[in-house]
Amino acid sequence: MKTLSLRQLVLAGIIGALIAALGFTPLGMIPVPTPAGSATILHVPVILGALLEGPVFGAMVGFLFGAVSFWRAIAAPANPIAQVMFTDPFTAFIPRILIGVVAYYAFNWARQKYGRAAISIVSGFFVWDLSYRVAINYGLVDGPIPGYLFFLPLGILSGWFLSRVLSGDGAPVIAAAVAGSAINTVGVMGLVVLRGILPIPAAAVVAVVHGIPEAMAAAMLTLLLYRALAGRRLGKGGI
């Protein structure tokens, strides 16, 4: 059985302390008036850990993120809905554990030419479909055909914009950050819907309100931190 190296133990301690410090202050859990109760940047240390030390390490620090969410929901919930959401161990832990795993493989995939194209297409389709579902649930469009046609330009624009972003030297890190952030948002909201805590329209709105700014923040912060740490030979190589 593979054991953690001294560097990994030290890095796990540093990231764990950072997650705890951010998780119990407004710096990491920013209060917002939504059912989730707060927006977060706690996924950034998890993504960073996965890029530096691999998916197993990322899953481990993701578990720490989940533990903070679970504890906050018990000891200091942002609101009653957030308390119900995150005292559910499935919602608190599973999406957090997956953040590092998904981020690591997105990082490697985005280093391939066709991987970048696939990420752009999938992301554009996701924006297109999610925009339509939010609009149809609130009666903003009438029927699937006009609704999907109306939001098609938005999906194409999103995919094109991401393809341009991913053409730079920081593309793999940005893709990892966006993918890690997205699996956190989609995972939490998907489990919330499946377990009957929120209806689909409410969960979709929370996903949009939280997911887009959290993904943007993750991309910027992860890129800056990864470059700094990889340059100091703490990681497995720079970009």
DSSP tag of 111: T
Give Cβ neighbours of residue 192 (< 8 Å, ≥ 6 apart).
Answer: 85, 91, 198, 203
Say if residues 166 and 216 touch (Cβ distance below 8 Å): no
Q: Which of 34-43, 134-143, 151-160, 196-205 has the lowest mean pLDDT?
A: 134-143
Instruction: Output the pLDDT for position 25.
Output: 76
Strand partners, 40: 29
| pTM for the model | 0.76
Give Cβ neighbours of residue 109 (< 8 Å, ≥ 6 apart).
Answer: 115, 118, 119, 175
Backbone angles phi, psi at 233, to 5 degrees: 65, 25
Say if residues 217 and 180 touch (Cβ distance below 8 Å): no
Residue with tokens 């991309």: 219
Say if residues 85 and 73 touch (Cβ distance below 8 Å): yes
pLDDT > 90? residue 184: yes
pLDDT > 60? residue 209: yes
Q: Is 146 exposed, middle or buried (0-12, 13-18, 19+ CB in 10 A)?
A: exposed
pLDDT > 60? residue 233: no
- pLDDT tens digits, one per residue of 2-39: 566 777 777 888 888 888 888 777 777 776 666 666 67
Q: Which comes out higher in pLDDT, residue 62 or 19? A: 62
Q: What is the CATH number of domain 6-231?
A: 1.10.1760.20
Where do the domains of the chain lie? 6-231
The rounded mean pLDDT for the chain is 81
- pLDDT tens digits, one per residue of 133-153: 777 776 676 666 666 777 788
